[in-house]
Structure formats: C-alpha cells, structure tokens
Amino acid sequence: MRSDAAKRRRLIVQEARRLFAAHGSDVALEAIADAAGVGIATLYRNFESRAALADEVALAILGDMRAAGADALKSVGSSPESAWTAYVQRLIELDLGALSATLAEFVTDQISGTVRQAQAETLAGVEALLDAVRPAGLVRSDLDALELVLAIGLITRPLPDAICAATPNLVPRLVSILLAGMRPA
Amino acid sequence: MRSDAAKRRRLIVQEARRLFAAHGSDVALEAIADAAGVGIATLYRNFESRAALADEVALAILGDMRAAGADALKSVGSSPESAWTAYVQRLIELDLGALSATLAEFVTDQISGTVRQAQAETLAGVEALLDAVRPAGLVRSDLDALELVLAIGLITRPLPDAICAATPNLVPRLVSILLAGMRPA
DNA sequence: AGAAAGTGGAGAATATTCCTCCACTTGTAC
DNA sequence: GTACAAGTGGAGGAATATTCTCCACTTTCT
C-alpha cells in the first residue's frame, strides 16, 4: 500500500469517528469523505460497506479505551483518586458517542468477530481498573464495567447543536454528578 | 369539531410523542400516522407541519411535567425523600426524550411563543420543587432546574433497541446513580 | 521516465419522505 | 331515516437524499 493512500485511510477513519460521534451513525458517507478531504470513491475503495467503516472506528475507540485503562492502572498506586478521575475524563473525550451510535447498531446484526473480541477485552480492562480503584473507596462495589461505559456513552451521545451552544459545560457537570453518584453510599 | 375527529387528533399526538421518544425527532410522519391508525391525510389536516406537531407534543410533555411538580410539592411536606424520588421517577417516565429530541431542534429556530412560555413556566416549577426539597438535604445547593431536566433528558434519549434489550434496567440504575450524585457532597 | 497504484467527482440508480387530491365514509341534527 | 357537513384514507407524483460505479486523470516509487 502506498504511503499517501495509508494516510488518507487513517484520515477517513478519524473523521468518521468524529462525525459519528457528533451527528450519529447515519451521517452520509459523502460527508465523511468530504471531511477527510478525499473523494467518495476513495472511501469506497477502502471500506466495502458502512459497516466495515463502523467496525474500524469501533476498533480504534476500543483500542484507545484499553490504552487509557492501562495508563490509569499504572498510576493508580500513587494516587487512586486522580488516576480515577483522569481516566473517566479521558473516556469522555474519546468520542465514545461514536461507539454507542455505531457499534450498538451493528453489534447484534453482523458484528465481526474481531470487534466482539476487542469489546470483550476492553470491558475486562475496565473491570480490572474498577477493581484496582475500589479499595480506595472511590466506586460502589456494585458498579460494573458495562454500566460505566454505557453511562458515559449515554451522556456523550450526539447532542443537538442548540443544546450544546446553550449549555457548553453541561457534560462536565454531569460527569461530576455521575462520579459523585458512583462513590459508595 | 366532531368527536371522533378529536379522538383521532389526540391519538396522533400520543403516538408522535411515543415515537419521537423511541426513535428520534425525524421519524417519518407516515410512521406516526400508521401508529395512530389513521391515514397520512388526517395527520396533515390536523398539523400544518412537523413543527406544529412537535409543538403540540412539547406542550403535552411540559404540561405533564408541571403536573408532576405540583403533585410532588403537595407531598414534600410529609415525606421529602419519597416525594423527591417519586418525582424524578415520574419525570423519567414522561418520554422526556421526545422533548429533547424535538424541542431542542425547534427551540432555536422558530419556536412558538406558546411553547417557549410553557417551557419557562415548567422550569420555574422544577426550580420551586428543588427549593422545597433542598432543606431536607436531598440535593446539592448548586443544582439548577435546567441541569436536572437536561440530565434526565439525556439519559432517557432514544436508545438503540439492541442496548435496550441487552440491559433492560440500565435506566433505573443510572437514575439511582444520578440521584446519589445530586445529594450534597 | 514509465508502470503500478491511487484518485476525484459526475451522475445513474435507488430509497425515502413529503404532501396533495378526491372519491368515499361517518357522525349528527333534524 | 335521511341528508348534508365533516371527516377520512391512501395512491401517487414531486422533491430530496444517499448509495455506489465508472473511468479519465494524477501521484508515487523505482
């Protein structure tokens, strides 16, 4: 594969992720191509179908999630509290909305084995971090990984621009409420 | 207006509300007509545009919210805790998702004065309840009405069926986390 | 320089949604 | 019961959006 072609491919995935997160999983493929500054044909050459692109986006996000989890695990020993809040903060910024918007729709249909496995591994990683953080009294004992991920996914889903503009710091506020609510009673 | 026509009109609003909440604000108007068991022409005869229908849905929801607030205010004296949780529970069940899905999109554009006013009154009602509940130590002092409403709206937004089916009690769980997080630190 | 790899975007094909029209049905007043 | 006003359904044309192919052209790499 030519190096310029590889660069374009990465750009497509990146923009797809951004647009999925911002406007939902059914954005026009042409909009993605436009955002990436490539022709629609280039997108189709790289991804056989919308689902194939969505899979790639999902894999990218899941990979980032695992990386965030690994980093947090490393620093949990020195400062559990800041490791935990930084981790959640980082999850928020991962465009998880794109995950919940696209993956959810393909998960049940024809999900590729690769994605399913990545998803399972990622959840296991989240669970591991939760276990590491729990002794510090930062999270309820009954909170599980799936719940955490879905909660963050839900509050970071595509939001009408009107609301975004009117209440710019809504998400941080909600996150702080969520974090507080996740502490042991 | 003939009585059967009035019944059909109510049915249309009801189904629109349900479908807006379940599938977002851009469901086909024909889907709404179908759900209500009427022809598409009947829908168009009653509502000049999608926006008009959305306004009517919004008014219905806002009305229900005020009613819930009034009821909660009545019982807050005898048992603040149960009044508060019952109120939040009731908000959850109001298809607020339909509000955030439709209203948000029209709010900034060409929102009718009626809706805007109903919205303001509703928010005032929520604020009043918050004030009434605060002395009992159930909510942070810095939590405002808009935040509460948006938080509930966000977590009750249309969710892919796949997720709904896989995690049926996700919403109640999140609500309990939210409620806990809203208590004073 | 030349071959292989890659590109863009016009446009045909398809799908979806909107919305009007009118022959027909239903409620109601008498 | 009958007659008329009120109301109805849904076919179907117009408008719009999205998908996806094709091929003349451009770029990379040796």
Q: What is the CATH number of the domain that holds A127?
A: 1.10.357.10
What pLDDT score does B107 carry? 45
Q: Do A173 and B107 touch (CB under 8 A)?
A: no
The CATH number of the domain holding residue A20 is: 1.10.10
Q: How far apart are CA A168 and CA A13, in angstroms?
A: 27
- Name the residue among B118, B143, B139 with its Cα closest to residue B66: B118
What pLDDT score does B106 carry? 42
What pLDDT score does A100 carry? 65
Same domain, A76 and A38: no
> In B, which residues are within 8 Å of A105 by CB distance?
160, 162
Is A54 part of any domain? no
Same domain, A125 and A161: yes
- Which of A146, A170, A181 lies nearest to residue B178, judging by beta carbons? A181
Q: Do B181 and A182 touch (CB under 8 A)?
A: yes
Is B63 part of any domain? yes
Per the structure, the residue whose CA is closest to nucleotide C4 at C1' is A2
Residue B104 predicted with pLDDT over 70: no
Per the structure, the residue whose CA is closest to nucleotide C9 at C1' is A39
Residue B97 predicted with pLDDT over 90: no
Q: How far apart are CA A127 and CA A138, in angstroms?
A: 14
- The total of structural domains in chain B comes to 2
Same domain, B66 and B117: yes
Asked whether the beta carbons of B157 and B100 are under 8 A apart, the reply is yes
Residue B167 tokens read as 């995690």
Is B53 part of any domain? no
In this prediction, residues B114-122 reach a mean pLDDT of 89
Q: Do B170 and A150 touch (CB under 8 A)?
A: yes
Same domain, B77 and B167: yes
The DSSP code for B95 is: T
**Does A78 contact strand D, using a CB cutoff of 7 Å?**
no
What pLDDT score does A83 carry? 98
Q: Which nucleotide is nearest to B46 (CA to C1')?
A: D7
Provide the mean pLDDT of chain B: 90
Same domain, A136 and A71: yes
- Which of B154, B162, B185 lies nearest to residue A107, judging by beta carbons? B162
- Rounded to whole angstroms, the distance from the CA of residue B107 to the C1' of nucleotide C19 is 24
Same domain, B78 and B143: yes
Distance from CA of residue A169 to its chain's centroid? 19
Q: How confident is the model at residue B169 (pLDDT cuts 50, 70, 90)?
A: confident
Average pLDDT, 10 consecutive residues per value, chain A (185 residues)? 96 96 92 98 96 92 97 97 97 84 51 83 96 96 92 83 81 93 94
- Which of A100, A107, A155 lies nearest to residue B154, judging by beta carbons? A155
- Rounded to whole angstroms, the distance from the CA of residue B13 to the C1' of nucleotide D9 is 19
Is B29 part of any domain? yes
Per the structure, the residue whose CA is closest to nucleotide D10 at C1' is B39
Q: Do B177 and A174 touch (CB under 8 A)?
A: no
Check residues B128 and A104 and name the one with the higher pLDDT. B128
Q: How confident is the model at residue B105 (pLDDT cuts 50, 70, 90)?
A: very low
Per the structure, the residue whose CA is closest to nucleotide C6 at C1' is A5
What pLDDT score does B98 carry? 81
Q: Which nucleotide is nearest to A4 (CA to C1')?
A: D28
Contacts (Cβ under 8 Å, ≥6 apart) of B96:
B21, B61, B65, B149, B152, B153, B156
Largest CA distance in chain B: 56
What pLDDT score does A165 carry? 81
- Name the residue among B60, B42, B30 with its Cα closest to residue B4: B42
What pLDDT score does B165 carry? 80
Contacts (Cβ under 8 Å, ≥6 apart) of B142:
none
Is B65 part of any domain? yes
DSSP labels for A156-185? Answer: TS---HHHHHH-TTHHHHHHHHHHHHHS--
Same domain, B27 and B73: no
Burial B101-138 (b: 16+ CB within 10 A, else e): bbbbbbbeeebbeebeebbeebbebbeebbebbbeeeb
Same domain, B84 and B162: yes
Asked whether the beta carbons of B138 and B183 are under 8 A apart, the reply is yes
Asked whether the beta carbons of A105 and A124 are under 8 A apart, the reply is no
> In A, which residues are within 8 Å of B147 by CB distance?
170, 173-174
Check residues B161 and B57 and name the one with the higher pLDDT. B57
What pLDDT score does A101 carry? 57
Is A116 part of any domain? yes
Work out the minimum CA distance from A63 to partner chain B, whole angstroms: 21
Structural domain of residue A14, as residue ranges? 1-48
- Helix (H), strand (E), coil (C) string for A52-82: HHHHHHHHHHHHHHHHHHHHHHHHCCCCHHH
Same domain, A128 and A155: yes
